[in-house]
Each structure stands twice: as C-alpha cells, then as structure tokens.
Amino acid sequence: MANRKFTWITVLAVAVLAMPAVSAAQGASDDVTFTKDIAPIMFESCVICHRADEMAPMSLTSYAEVRPWARSIKNRVVAREMPPWHIDKNIGIQEFKDDRSLSDAQISMIASWVDAGAPQGDLADMPEMPQYPDHSAWQIGEPDLVVRYPDYLVPAEGPDIFGSLYAPFETTEDRYITAIQTRPVDARSRQVVHHALSYAVDMDYDDLNGDGTQDQGTFLVEYASGKGAEQYPPGTGKLLSPGKKARVSYHLHSVGEDVQAGIELGMVFAPQGTVPEHIRWSKQLARHNTDLDLPAGDAWVRQDGYERLNSAAKLTAFQPHMHILGVYQCLELIYPTTPVTNEIVSCANFDYNWHLVYNYEDDVAPIVPAGTILHTVSYFDNSQGHRGNPDPSNWTGNGSRTIDEMGFAWIGWYDLTDEEYAEELAARQAKAEATSDNN
C-alpha cells in the first residue's frame, strides 16, 4: 500500500481548525424550499431516527415539526454532528460500506435554506414519506437465533453496576456467524446500558471471582450507546461451537428512575455445513498503556496506545472507544519496514452517545504485513468548553465507570497468510497503476 506520511501537529491542527467546506453562499439559491429540496434530505438521512417512538429526541417528519429546529439543524449538520457519522473527511480512507454522512452539497443546501428564513415552499412539491422499518426491527434482517438475557432491575439511584447474565444458545452443531447485533429491548433499557459484551462460554462457566482474571470465553460482539449491528465481510464468519451458553458482561448505570433493563442478542448464520474462508475477529486493541491523567480544565489531552499484529491481516472495521470526555481518535499503521513507514488510515470525532463502527469498503480496507503496529492517538477534553463534560472542575483518570475514562479502538479484521497478503497487495498495486494510466 502507498504510505502517506503525516505529522501529528498537522493532524491535530486539522482536527481543531478544519470545518466542512460549507457556507450559506455555496450553492445558495433564492428558491430553496423545504418541500422541494430539504424534505428529500430529511427523509433519506434523518427521519429513520427522528420520528415517533424512535430513539431521537424529536420528530422531523413534516415542515411543522422541522421549522422550530431549523437553526439547530443547520448548526449540527454544518459541524457534521448529524447525521451521526464522525469520520474526519480530511484524513485517511473515505470509502465505507455504511456511510450515512451528508454531502457538502446537501449541507450547503440546508444552510442556505435556513439562512433564507426556512421557507416552506409549494405543498405540491412535497415528496411522499418512505416506509421505514419498524423501530424494533433487527438491522441484520431476521436472525437465525435470538438470545434474550434475563432482565435486570436498575434502581433509580446508586453506583454503576457490573456483572454477568447467562442464557442458553441451544445449538447442536458448529455454526458460523455472519452478522450479529446486541440491542437493549426498549428505549428505557437503552438509557441504562453503558455497554454489553457478549461471549460464548462453557455450560459450567460462572464468573465467581469477578476480578477479571478468569478466561472471559469466546468474544462475540460489543454493544455501547448508539451502536448498531455488525455485518461481516463476504467469505468471513465467527465460529459458534455447540455445547455453549451465552454470557453478557454488563455495565449498567442509574438514570433517576427504576428501569427493568432487557438485553438481547441476534445472530445470522452461514448455511449449515458452510465453513468461511477466513475467521473474522473483533477485539479491543491499542489500548492506552499508561494511566490517564486528565487535569480539571485541560483540553485536548493526548493518549497513545500500541498493538503489534503477529500475522498479516485485512482490517475491516474501526470503532473508536472512549467515554464522555473523549473527543477525537486516529488510527495509524506503523509498518515493519526499513526505514519505518507509517500511514494514518482513519481519524474520527467522538461522541459518547454514538459508538459507531466504520466498515471499510472491501477494496480499500487496509491490508498489513505481519509485525505491523496499530497506533491509536486519542484526545480528551476536560475543559468547560466541552459541551458534554459533566464536571470540568474534577480530575478524571482511567477506569470502568461512566464518569471514568479509557481509550482504545475496537478493530475488526481477519488474518491473511503471507501469500494471501502478497497477492492482494500486488492486485491493489496493479489496479492503482491502471487507474493512473487511465487518468
């Protein structure tokens, strides 16, 4: 792969100073109206969440519902905070399978519409609202297996709650997972579930010691606020062996009222008897290797984490993970070359309410040789200027509570043999050369 070299001063400058190339003047038109121009954007990118009984705080299905929020909508889309897609558009790979972001032209149109007074327009131009899936529908389609963990009563007040719940799989043969999703069963459950990590464990497993030293079992999937399903690349899967039970390691927190929290796990399997070409993995990698020290009032505090990959691999997904004070994270690849070369493949702003998985398109997903080091660079903001900071007068360190901090990336990948790596690298180089020649 071509290696692009950056300085971290440049990266931080881009993160702090760069704004979308959008202004009211760009693409401005005197006749931009809600019915003709804005409603189609809202229906395509916003209303899936902003409608009755969905997760967003307000409904935006009509002009009457949108108009009071027009100024706020402009501010959020120009800052690329909504729709939730926080990849930095100025750095690294930009081709993703599930990119929900607005284009510069769409952002410009919304901005110019608001600046013109947010006119409604001709009702005859109003498009018909699409039929959206039921809010309770699975994002992975109809699962082949659904596991419902026992409910847990979270009291209105109290410390964060950690523990495990168990439920049977009842599978009788090897099956390979190709898509998986953990979800709280309702809106109230979503409020109290900080995270939920699902594993396959032996039937006699019981986490009695609770100190983290026990084998956790075979990791399946993570859920955190705002996270959706994981769809594995074609030809990959994760083995679920028979004779196992499901374990969810939960972190719950109180929200001022009693909540009966429910969590369920859905899985889609490859056809019976099918063995995928590659096993797809997902783990917490490149965790910070020193204690976090976030003094009260400090902004843009940097933390670094490193992880060595012992095999050649194809990275399929990048998901930053921090807590409330996290604001920005980059993933850098440090290659085992002489001299050492490096490449920043992804940077993303971070919002604790949206733990998003960024799935690379197959033909641009990073392929790396054995010995590559994953380097995460995470930034935290403990200042008063951070909108989500619950208490900028408090020092914050690393820990598992919601008010503590941590920094790492969930990485999805599958291993390659050295021969597979060499073949795919040669194919990409040939494609790049052909594209260059055509241009």
> What pLDDT does residue 213 have?
55
Instruction: Give the pLDDT mean for 18-36.
Output: 59
> What pLDDT does residue 38 have?
95
Q: How far apart are alpha carbons 89 and 347 in whole angstroms? A: 8
More confident residue, 290 or 117: 117
Q: Is 379's pLDDT higher than 50?
A: yes
Q: Is 264's pLDDT higher than 90?
A: yes
Show which of 276, 292, 313 is a domain's final residue: 276
Q: Is 8's pLDDT higher than 90?
A: no
> What pLDDT does residue 307 have?
96
Instruction: Give the pLDDT mean for 242-255.
Output: 93
> What pLDDT does residue 408 have?
94
- The pLDDT tens digits for 29-62 are 468 999 999 999 999 999 988 988 777 889 999 9
- The pLDDT tens digits for 287-301 are 887 788 999 999 999
- Does residue 3 fall inside a structural domain? no
- The pLDDT tens digits for 70-115 are 999 999 999 998 999 999 999 999 999 989 899 999 999 999 999 9
Instruction: Give the pLDDT mean for 279-288.
Output: 91
Show which of 256, 276, 296 is a domain's final residue: 276
Which of helix, strand or coil describes residue 120?
Answer: coil
- Does residue 404 fall inside a structural domain? yes
Q: How far apart are alpha carbons 232 and 279 in whole angstroms? A: 10
Whether 218 contacts 267, CB under 8 Å? no
**Whether residues 70 and 15 fall in one domain:** yes
Q: Which domain holds residue 288?
A: 278-439
**Whether residues 265 and 359 fall in one domain:** no
Q: Is the peptide bond before 83 cis (omega within 30 degrees of 0)?
A: yes
> What pLDDT does residue 24 have?
38
Instruction: Give the pLDDT mean for 183-211.
Output: 85
Q: How many domains does the chain have?
A: 3
Mean residue pLDDT of the chain comes to 88
CATH number for the domain harbouring residue 309: 2.60.120.230
Q: How far apart are alpha carbons 269 and 175 in whole angstroms? A: 6
CATH number for the domain harbouring residue 209: 2.60.120.310
pLDDT band of residue 206 (cuts 50, 70, 90) is: confident
**Whether residues 56 and 144 fall in one domain:** no
- Does residue 132 fall inside a structural domain? no
Q: How far apart are alpha carbons 331 and 411 in whole angstroms? A: 10
**Whether residues 89 and 157 fall in one domain:** no
Total-model pTM: 0.84
In whole angstroms, how far apart are CA 428 and each of 27, 116, 372?
37, 47, 18
- The pLDDT tens digits for 62-76 are 999 999 999 999 999
> What pLDDT does residue 40 have?
95
At 162, give phi and psi (nearest 5°): -125, 145
In whole angstroms, how far apart are CA 360 and each of 94, 236, 284, 301, 316?
8, 14, 18, 28, 6
Whether 330 contacts 42, CB under 8 Å? no
Q: Is 25's pLDDT higher than 60?
A: no
Whether 239 contacts 279, CB under 8 Å? yes
**Whether residues 321 and 336 fall in one domain:** yes
